[in-house]
Chain A
């Protein structure tokens, strides 16, 4: 890789690694696993930097991350061994407190099935358009709409008594 490409890559990682790590964490609920997967994805990105830059670097990297985390058939032996998938621990809070409302929403997201969770994370946390989400999840735009619609319905059902969120203006 040329020095200027190396610099571009380092700049990209510095700017995007945290966002990618958070996306991976929302997909899997484990910071160590999220960091491992993002690191592997970014190392692979280095080897494919020229090719990835011709298209969309973020989409390329997110696709590697998503495939690692939600498609359990692939490269299973590169994951750190974990005895069980536990939801992240939460401290109890006052139901009327804004902090406990935030905790409840993230817990609810973690309870979604993996593909719904990834779709909701890409569309509503990462704010990606439907077409790019479909590319990352390797599915049709119709499937993305269906996944996010079901995911939001499930979140509403879980949170209706917990958090009085404003759900108006939803576009799937």
Chain B
């Protein structure tokens, strides 16, 4: 059976496989560039010049943070002690709607459906159906924000081992994707996540370097460098330190070079830290042909405004 399936499928693939663009020398060159960018950004104290223009701004929302209802008390989920010689990973489990995620979803779609000049599309992976809401009542067609349990795993020689640490996360995953589009701008996918206190740090933990792969929680260096291992080139200017206990927003544009052989990934991310320590992360990202510039579908200010408009729900 094994040989039957393998030989038949291989024979069919021989007949239909297009030429492969994957080459050892080209991929090694891409890998070297990726490593150089990360080291270069660190050496210059966070001011990278390799990427296309990107700006990080910090805005303190100011005033007294709105009081949260007693039912919105936010527990923390501190990481266990990590071994810097090891690497860690997350395993996502469960995917459920809760009163908090429903509240967040409703607010998000109300704001998205009110965006001026921007088309909001939901793409259903399973059916390919494309929908664009006209009213908030169309919410049922769109991927909701749901609650997931994240289990922290430690990489070992025999595979991944559960550490016992579990952290909730609200995220917009599932069977659909949301894409924002407007004439003259790159089409961009929207991703919304809300981390509990300690899940997306505004500062690097003590002793953790920007390149440290063993740190599984995203963090911003005091000079605003680093968004985990996913972004390789950032130019930024962090003009104001974060104020503990106050709402604040980081806004970041970035470019990931050579995301595919012919295109770069252009992204815009806003991280809003609530007074209770939770972090709302809204990302817009889309592919742009290499070397070209593209207007993002929303400005940083508009994305920050979207983040400000969403409620401070607890992540539990």
On A, residues with C-beta under 8 Å from B are 1, 6, 9-14, 17-18, 21-22, 25-26, 31, 35-36, 38-40, 42-43, 45-48, 51, 54-55, 71-78, 80-86, 88, 99, 101-103, 105-106, 109, 120, 123-125, 127, 134-135, 138, 152, 165-170
Contacts and interface: CB of A to CB of B under 8 A. Distances in A.
B211 to A, nearest CB: 10
Nearest to A85: B125
B96 interface: no
A39 B22 contact: yes
A167 B171 CA distance: 43
B: interface residue count bin: 35 or more
A10 B32 CA distance: 12
Given A17-B20, A102-B12, A103-B12, A76 B1 contact: no
Contacts of A1: 31-32, 35
B-side interface mostly:
mixed
B157 A55 contact: yes
B33 to A, nearest CB: 9
Contacts of B16: 88
Nearest to A136: B159
Given A72-B175, A123-B2, 4 more contacts: A10-B24, A43-B34, A72-B174, A106-B9
Contacts of A21: 17, 20, 22
A31 B5 contact: no
Given A43-B34, A83-B128, A86-B128, A135 B159 contact: yes
Contacts of B267: 77
Contact of A166 (B4, B9, B25): B4
A138 B1 contact: no
Given A12-B24, A39-B260, A168-B1, A76 B173 contact: yes
A47 B28 contact: no
B70 interface: no
B64 interface: no
B160 interface: yes
5 closest residue pairs by CB, A with B: A84-B128, A46-B31, A10-B24, A13-B24, A102-B12
Interface of B: 1-2, 4-6, 8-13, 15-18, 20-25, 27-28, 30-32, 34-35, 87, 91-92, 123, 125-128, 130, 148, 157-160, 171, 173-175, 177, 179, 187, 189, 191, 213, 230, 258-261, 265, 267, 283, 285-287
Scoring B2, B24, B261, B267 by chain A CB atoms within 10 A of each residue's CB, the highest score goes to B24
A11 B24 contact: yes
> Which of A13, A73, A124 has the largest count of B CB atoms less than 10 A from its CB?
A73
B294 to A, nearest CB: 14
Contact of B20 (A18, A46, A71): A18
Contacts of A12: 24
B9 A26 contact: yes
B13 A22 contact: yes
Q: Which of A6, A12, A106, A167 neighbours the largest number of chain B CB atoms within 10 Å of its CB?
A: A106
Nearest to A67: B89
Given A13-B28, A47-B31, A73 B171 contact: yes
B195 to A, nearest CB: 14
Contact of A78 (B22, B174, B259): B259
A69 B11 CA distance: 23
A137 to B, nearest CB: 10
Contact of B31 (A43, A83, A168): A43
A106 B12 contact: yes
